[in-house]
Chain A
Amino acid sequence: MSRTRTRPVLAVAALGAAAALVLSGCVSRDGGGADADAAFPTGTITMFTPTQAGGATDLTARTLASEMESILDTSIVVENRPGGAGSVGMQHLAGLSADGHAIAVLPVEVSMLGHLDYEIDPADYDFLGQVNAQPGTIAVPASSPYETLDDLLAAAEEAPGSITVSNAGAGSIWETGAKALGAEAGVEFQGVPFDGGAPAVTAAIGGQVDAVVASVAEVAPAHDDGRLRVLAVFMEERAPVLPDVPTATEQGQDVVIGSWAAIAAPTGLADDVKATLEAAISEAVESEAYVSFVEDAGNIPQYRDAAEATEFVLAEHERFGALLAG
């Protein structure tokens, strides 16, 4: 194999040049810079999610993307950028150019992480619409002595810190949900963070903890077959999938908290691009495929337009600032 002694460096250089020529037709990695005159969208739109493929946020993105593809008549690729509780993907989005070809489904964490020592600020994003709501609940094992929210709060008041409440993880929305309830009722729970929502709910089913704070979707199946008893939902009205469970407000505790997802772009979108995307999102959210996807999972296809969503996210950001400081 050592018979031909061509100079390798030269060969490599020539090869690189040739390949560059061949591939010069290909789209560059950063996506084509949109022509100012051309109507948006001018190429493929990338929809990021700051989560792993296969999770709830990812499936939301993929369902919406396939609807928006036909509305905008362009291809939309979903790209996962997980890590750092979502901060990696969010920071990635904030660093991209605001031409409308980079958008993302951002979960509630976008309004929380800034208070948890991550460099995330909702002001870095233009919010184009809220696409769902996942209200919180508090539930106890079926064998629990606590029949109502008041029973549970009374027990927590009697012996502060004795009532263990599992949640989806340190810094998760459900840990904050338990804190919010505690703050409203003036009692102290012993939070037990698990690695995700499902293990937290299972710990309550198995009776390892006294209660769990989780989303409606996560507890509704277990409530229906009698393994868990949901004591309250943290929303303005009763949840459609749990019509027999009163809200916390009905029981005298004004706690409304939950997870949600919104579509966002890096800040600084042109007005017409923003309007096009906002319209496409509002249409996609109403599509039958999307609505049944959200409702089948037990969530609520709540929509807010760009202006309302922006206001909502900023209000959430402020409120979590107060809650998470405590």
Chain B
Amino acid sequence: MTPVLEGIGALLDPTILLCLVIGTLLGTLVGAVPGITATMAVALAAGFTLTLEPLQGLAVLLSIYVAAQFGDRVPAILINTPGTPASIATTFDGYPMAKAGRAGVALTSSALVSAVGSLAGILILIFLAQPIAGIALRFGPIEMFALVAFGMTMMVGVSGGRIVKGLAAGALGLLLGAVGRDPISGEQRFTLGIPELSSGVPFIAVIVGVFGLAEVFNQIVEARSGRAAKPIEQLGRWWPDRAERRSLVKPAGIGAGVGAVVGVVPAAGGDIAGIIAWDQARRASKHPERFGKGSLEGVAAPDTASTATMGGSVTTTLAIGVPGDSVMAAMLGSMIVWGLTPGPALFVQNPDLVFSIATIMVVATVAALGLSLVRMQGVVNLLKLPLNTLAVVIITFCMVGTFAVQNSVFDVIVMLVMGVVGLGMRRWGFPAGPLVLGLILGPLAESNLRRALLIDGPFAVLGSPIASVLIALSVLALVAPHLLRILKGRSAARARSTADAP
């Protein structure tokens, strides 16, 4: 037990507490501003924290990491714009809830389940780091491809009933994901001679464009009497009632499980976990038809999942030295400079550090939860703004936030173009979720599949049990709903489906 006490004891220093507070405040702030991601905030802060002691620096960086995952829910729920990619799936049900006057319940529940997810992930870090390191190492290109393929089956669920158009939007996302240098040969593909496109279409710009800007644009073109329609008029109750609290349990459990697994996988983070959890919770729900239309379960599942990935990501990063997600990639550089080179040796040489990190994350989670619950009262004032003011605030913050990601005007142009594309998609009945899913997963799918083919040739999948299972699950995910319907066909399901038909 000594490493535990040493690890926690090392934190009994007022400066570390101060660092935690600063990190939590910064994290919540950057999380709430669309465009600026936790990755970027951690990377920027790393420049300042290098001069600090390792534990002080880690306190700042980890609490930014944790708190950003609370802050980013707020714009996702209130203005349909994910504050960071981790809350993409929060928009699916959070925004419909807000439009229905239940923003208060959505925000509070989201903060609560985010805290649960975060703590679940940290438990994994504490108890399962070593065995998990072994599993993560076995995730080579073919296993990664299989996981991504499983993720792509979620396009169907995310389409919200408009399957053909949803899949078309997903294919468009995959196509956008193919822009840039070929991941294997380095050849230019569809880059039109624009150097910025060599590294691919900037996906944060796309997310902000198709979710946030498109929503504002749509309100403007639907405007009544020369004013933008107000997105949300009332926040409703704050605290979820008893029935609502009970309905949170199952999706939060699913979310925590999905998040823990996805978090462990290198390079897969909260965005992917959120979407997978949303779809799994929908399948498991008693009311799948409410998903996408303002289901509280649909908020709880992705929010638990994306925070649960943090513990897994930190585990992978510490245990095998491979960044578990993009935030950890930025943090890894600082850790190496501090002489805390991640890898199995870290657990032998600095076992107390793991407990210090876990404790920092627990404290940051509690602080971020408290801040979220307190701060929400302030959110009311934002929504009391006149309609046109709100539109201006969203447009300008999206523009400057997107610029800040890479200090690039090109990204802002992409965001504006995608705002107009998103408006078109909206008006013509194409859901935006699959597009973003395709853009995120496409490059991962292609590059890992082609790597696997280079290594093992065409029968790569057969050689890997993990990949085979995941591919089988993907097929099942696509086929099972239909099979179930056929099996149940003779009983209640048939009655319901005939009732549904016009």
Residue ranges of A at the interface with B (Cβ–Cβ < 8 Å):
1, 52-56, 58-59, 62-63, 66, 78-85, 87-88, 91, 116-119, 164, 169-171, 190-196, 198-199, 201-203, 205-206, 208-209, 217, 221-222, 224-225, 227, 293, 296-297
Any A CB within 8 A of the CB of B266: yes
A selection of 27 A-B contacts at a CB cut-off of 8 Å is A1-B386, A53-B44, A54-B39, A54-B46, A54-B331, A54-B333, A55-B330, A81-B408, A83-B406, A83-B410, A84-B196, A84-B199, A87-B198, A116-B186, A169-B186, A171-B186, A192-B451, A195-B267, A198-B322, A202-B137, A205-B137, A208-B140, A208-B455, A217-B336, A221-B341, A221-B343, A296-B336
Given contacts A118-B198, A192-B454, contact A205 B320 (CB under 8 A): yes
Q: How far is the CA of A323 from the CA of B365 in the complex (A)?
A: 51
Q: How far is the CA of A253 from the CA of B189 in the complex (A)?
A: 36
A-B interface pairs (CB < 8 A), number: 146
Binds A, one of B81-89, B176-184, B482-490, B492-500: B176-184
What B residues does A62 contact at CB under 8 A?
A: 47, 50
Say which residue of A88, A169, A171 sits within 8 Å of B195 (CB atoms): A88
**Interface members, chain B 428-450 (any A CB < 8 Å):** 447
Quick one: closest B residue to A55, CB to CB? B333
What A residues does B199 contact at CB under 8 A?
A: 82-85
**Do B455 and A227 touch (CB < 8 A)?**
no
Q: How far is the CA of A287 from the CA of B199 in the complex (A)?
A: 35
Given contacts A54-B333, A193-B184, contact A225 B196 (CB under 8 A): no
**Do B46 and A198 touch (CB < 8 A)?**
no
What B residues does A170 contact at CB under 8 A?
A: 181-186
**Do B188 and A81 touch (CB < 8 A)?**
no
Q: How far is the CA of A236 from the CA of B137 in the complex (A)?
A: 33
Any A CB within 8 A of the CB of B323: yes
Q: How far is the CA of A82 from the CA of B182 in the complex (A)?
A: 18
Any A CB within 8 A of the CB of B118: no
Q: Is the interface of B mostly helix, strand, loop or mixed?
A: helix
What A residues does B181 contact at CB under 8 A?
A: 85, 170-171
**Do A117 and B188 touch (CB < 8 A)?**
yes
CB distance from A164 to the nearest CB of B (A): 5
Residue ranges of B at the interface with A (Cβ–Cβ < 8 Å):
39-40, 42-44, 46-47, 50-51, 137-141, 181-186, 188, 195-199, 266-267, 320-323, 329-334, 336-337, 339, 341, 343-345, 386, 406-408, 410, 447, 451, 454-455
Q: How far is the CA of A116 from the CA of B334 in the complex (A)?
A: 31
**Do B451 and A194 touch (CB < 8 A)?**
yes
**Do A59 and B138 touch (CB < 8 A)?**
no
- New contact pairs (7) apart from A80-B406, A164-B454, CB-CB < 8 Å: A53-B47, A54-B43, A54-B44, A190-B454, A202-B266, A202-B322, A203-B140
Say which residue of A52, A118, A222 sits within 8 Å of B321 (CB atoms): A222
Q: How far is the CA of A51 from the CA of B164 in the complex (A)?
A: 40
Given contacts A52-B43, A192-B451, contact A221 B345 (CB under 8 A): yes
